[in-house]
Structure 1
Amino acid sequence: MKAWVVGGAVRDRLLGLPAGDRDWVVVGSSPEAMVAAGYTPVGRDFPVFLHPDTREEHALARTERKSGRGYHGFVFQAAPDVTLEEDLARRDLTINAIAEDPDSGTLVDPFDGRADLRARVLRHVSEAFVEDPVRLLRLARFAARFHDFSVAPETAALMRRMVDDGEVDALVPERVWQELSRGLMEARPDRMLEVLRDCGALARLLPEVDRLWGVPQRADYHPEVDTGVHLLMVLRQCAQQQAPLPVRYAALCHDLGKGTTPPSEWPRHIAHEARSAVLARQVSDRWRVPTDCRELADVTAREHGNIHRSAELGAAAVGRLLDRCDAWRRPERFAQLLLACECDARGRLGHEHADYPQRPRLWAALQAALAIDTAQVAESAIAQGLSGPKIGERVREARCRAIESLCPART
């Protein structure tokens, strides 16, 4: 048997990028031979084994045949006579269909993946690309990672065909969220949305996001005008700030309500925050988004406008804002909320490097209020004969006094 390094590890080495985990394909072997050689079987759908020493995954060379809709609808065949070229032929993109001999460094590149790496092109290996809708999402994710790569025209046409044929509708929430979340964490998450929108997949997977394009905003606040363009700029700011996933997901959902504003009200979007929160919850439910992401998206949608306007708020109003954001119990999430709002503010044409004083001001206000010994305040109130809501009022008053110097009352 012969083991080859395949996929991303080979691609990234050729691009001069740091090496990640290596994937291996084994030619000329069988499950029985792998076990006899000390490998541990771990695959369920097809034969995958852990190396006895390195614990790296080694998969038997295999072919696949479409047997139904969606990404589950495949029949795999792994046999000693399956060639390396046949295994590479089932892969998604040419740049991922290159194998390397770990001993000699010899490359096997039957689909000219190296040429596409040099040309910075994302191109499908074969027509079988259309059989697995996950590949469409993976390509969009790769576009977000390798943002200077273009999508080959013939590949873009295949992606549109996949959407038209309903293959994308067969995707399950777990796989959609897996690819979307990974794409959001790439260097240019905005490219993922552009690619999905170009082939029509965004309208099927995230119609709440897709409808933002063509919706105008007030040019004095948003020189870029188009709400969809603004979203792309916000996501780019998130990447530049190296924001964590919850912040990027919150950015994705923060303005969804603007897509439901009646055209007669354009370019104003009154009360879009509440509508955005409802739509964000719908997206989170549909794709089974993790709790930390969905909760931050909800509070960001509801409160980002108030945070942007917080320079006008006095101490009492800031205290109420912190209450609504549950900042007392969730200061780490509040920090993420402020970052999401800063990315939103900077995701505007000509504002990319603007200061955002609201973030340090509100964070300082929270820290000042958190320094209050609320137990001591409560004990003092009880000693004065107060109880119930009156104690809570005393705590709020103490917090208000703590942040008064940072957020003085407006007259």
Structure 2
Amino acid sequence: MTNMGPGRTRQTQVYVRGLGGERPAVPVAPERLQAAAQAKLAAADFAYIAGGAGAERTMRANLAAFERVRLLPRGLSGRRERDLGVELFGQSLGSPLLLAPIGVLEAAHAEADLAVARAAAAEGVPFIFSSQASVPMEQCAAAMGATPRWFQLYWGTDDEVTRSFVRRAEACGASAIVLTLDTTLLGWRPRDLDLGSLPFLRGRGIAQYLSDPVFRSRLDASLPAPGTAPPRTAALLRAGAELRARGRPYHLSLTQMRAAAARFTATYTRPDLGWDDLSRLREWTGLPILLKGILHPDDAREAVTRGVDGLIVSNHGGRQIDGEVAALDMLPDVVAVAGDLPVLLDSGVRTGSDVAKALALGARAVLLGRPYVYGLAIAGEAGVREVIQNVLAEFDLTLGLLGVGAARELGARHVVR
């Protein structure tokens, strides 16, 4: 039987099951996908995952930017089969899709990053481990086998912890380090603020730290002095129970967990991170270094001169600055000055046609974020797999309908801005 490709294969699977009255567990349409996830999640968890900065203008701008780009198909030029593959840093990938680093995935599902790692491996899609993960990178790497994984780095005020993260990423087979530039301070997020909810204070999303030998070595020095324990209010008792539960896998007491959460929140951001720090990161690792959060062409030029290996055009999914420029709008300008450096896009990607638009505007690959987290919330590992399958199916069909035989052939001639 002729290979139908992921697009027709996925379509056929869904429609055949529909004959028996079975509908997909994970909605295909982006709006319905988000709504189904919201119905599964506690209010604070959904707020953290779905929310953005300020009035969420940047989140809307990211989506509007994709609306403004129109695809332009060519007739009588289709191919029976399409090649979705791309190459990044000497690795051949089956598609231009990577799963973005997202913290506190336990807010979506109990298996958190581990479920995502398994789904990524099953679908052959790289997963970028987050510094703010709910499962240590070593466990996720073990679940992924030979599937590529990268590590996203937040550079905090403790350089030795940062360096330890890099060493661990190398040891667990990461093939790139993604330094995030746009979160040197936590953005103003009204959804979380209105609920008074910051997950890190409850010990959520700090598994990389709790499992890190350098970070753990700092805890004894940060323990509270005798007689300074907080008053036993009901809210603190509930928070203490959560911290105690989260400390068990790491053999930490409640007091140590409180100290760990406090130390993390005091040290994880570094507002004065500068260009000269890149030279130190280069000394620490021989892995390719990508800068995530590049929007200004001048920053892209500086990155080239500093010898970085790749750029990710991103505004953190609209979670950091309200009213910020849309990532897709800046993609062509960054690509124009990046030279031979691979440029990836993050922020606002929801569908397979979005992937095609980003590649046509010069991205080598894209990072998918909130949609896979919604799939995780709805159906765990299986939900993540369905979201990946749906995005790649639509991307494959979009290529075919555009008259394009390979992802690498997409270019400016295929879009109207």
Task: Report TM bin, short chain.
Answer: under 0.3
Q: Which has the higher contact order (CA 8 A, sep 6+)?
A: 2
Give the structure-1-normalised TM-score.
0.26
Q: Rg bigger for which structure?
A: 1
Give the structure-2-normalised TM-score.
0.25
